Amino acid sequence: MRIFYFSSKMLVISILMTCLLLTSSVVTAKEKEYKGPKKRIAVLDFEDKSGHQHSGWRDVGRGMADMLVTSLVKTNRFIVIEREQINKIMAEQAFGLSGAVNPDTAAKIGRIIGVGVIVTGGVTEFGVKESKMGVGGLGRVLPFGGGGKIERNTARVALDVRFIDTTTGQILLAEMAEGEESSHGVDVDLSIAPSVDFGKEGFDETVIGKATRKTVEKVVEKIKEAMENVPWQGSIVKVSGEQIYINTGSDDGREPGNEFVVYRAGEELLDPDTGESLGSETEKIGRIEIVNVKDKKLSIAKPIEGSGFMRADIVKDK
């Protein structure tokens, strides 16, 4: 009877594990099968607002931004602008390089690099919040950096993100994502953990790495959901006579005959009382049609309505 009970229990566990694996495979397949136009997005380094709870971990804001970029690219739904390009623009425009960027500045950066949406935010929690020492019933809380026989330690990570429309400067979404992970009965010297850098081999196996991953994946899901309501937007990268080069191609499923509406950002609107940027109006200047898909991210179009098209003009699906 006991043998039968044990076998039945193992069978149920096996079935559950198989279902989980199949579900994971279906999700992965769906991501790979996405064929819609990839929306252009930029992620700025996050500001570290955690109060240095993470003693020893370096570049927490940049590390989490990097993890978010990698996860967004893996969804196959976004073209994420490289940090080097963002930093170059920020340096040229004398913007700060930290995550402490207000919506006005973020919108300006986004317009310059040709993205419709830019993600900013801050890391509000990052560290091992509770570590209990397995000495009798003592259970006292240890600071990060202690060592010994750990009965239980809990890592907690929290991230505030803002999702900014670069055309209007308005915050489309403000969300908080949290991740928590615990380890039990492990011999570990907590002071060793910071030697494992973000994204490097071994990081995801640490308790703080697992909590960070949970947080980042929650942010990715929020961004995917929010971007469903944001229309695709690209830019004109070059105009040569009647040939208009635009930054969309085979990766976005483009083909000859696709039409787009072209807009130009107008004068920046400033609040007369506060000086705050209120975004800018956009003016429709014409329509264009793809005649040649040159590459994964490049096509040549011709004008079918309007004239005077210029580099950096905004392109949207018709």
pLDDT tens track for 240-264 = 999 999 999 998 889 999 999 999 8
The pLDDT value given to residue 100? 54
Query: Is the model more confident about 60 or about 102?
Result: 60
- Residue 248: C-alpha distances to residues 90, 252, 308 (Å): 24, 6, 20
Nearest to 85 by CA among 59, 121, 63, 113: 113
Amino acid at 194: P
* Rg, the chain, Cα only: 24
Lowest-confidence region among 175-184, 197-206, 214-223, 262-271: 197-206
Place of tokens 């600071």: 143
Contact 190, 153 (CB under 8 A): yes
Domains of the chain: 35-227 (3.40.50.10610), 233-317 (2.40.10.410)
The pLDDT value given to residue 135? 47
The pLDDT value given to residue 16? 55
Mean per-residue pLDDT of the chain: 77
pLDDT tens track for 276-285 = 666 667 889 9
Whether residue 239 is predicted with pLDDT greater than 60 in this model: the reply is yes
Rounded distance between C-alpha atoms, residue 173 and residue 161, angstroms? 8
The pLDDT value given to residue 91? 75
SS3 of residue 193 by DSSP: helix
- Interstrand relation of 298-306 and 277-295 (parallel, antiparallel or unpaired): antiparallel
pTM of the model: 0.72
- Residue 121: C-alpha distances to residues 48, 131, 159, 229, 234 (Å): 9, 28, 7, 21, 24
**Alpha helices (runs of H) in 93-243, residue ranges in sequence order:** 103-113, 207-227
pLDDT, average across residues 199-214: 80
The pLDDT value given to residue 22? 53
- Residue 162: C-alpha distances to residues 60, 87, 188, 220, 294 (Å): 18, 19, 36, 13, 35
Rounded distance between C-alpha atoms, residue 262 and residue 86, angstroms? 24
Tokens of 130: 């509770």
Whether residue 191 is predicted with pLDDT greater than 50 in this model: the reply is no
Q: How much helix, strand and coil, in percent to the nearest 5, is found in the chain?
A: 30, 40, 30
Lowest-confidence region among 52-56, 224-228, 308-312: 52-56
Whether residue 148 is predicted with pLDDT greater than 60 in this model: the reply is no
pLDDT, average across residues 92-110: 67
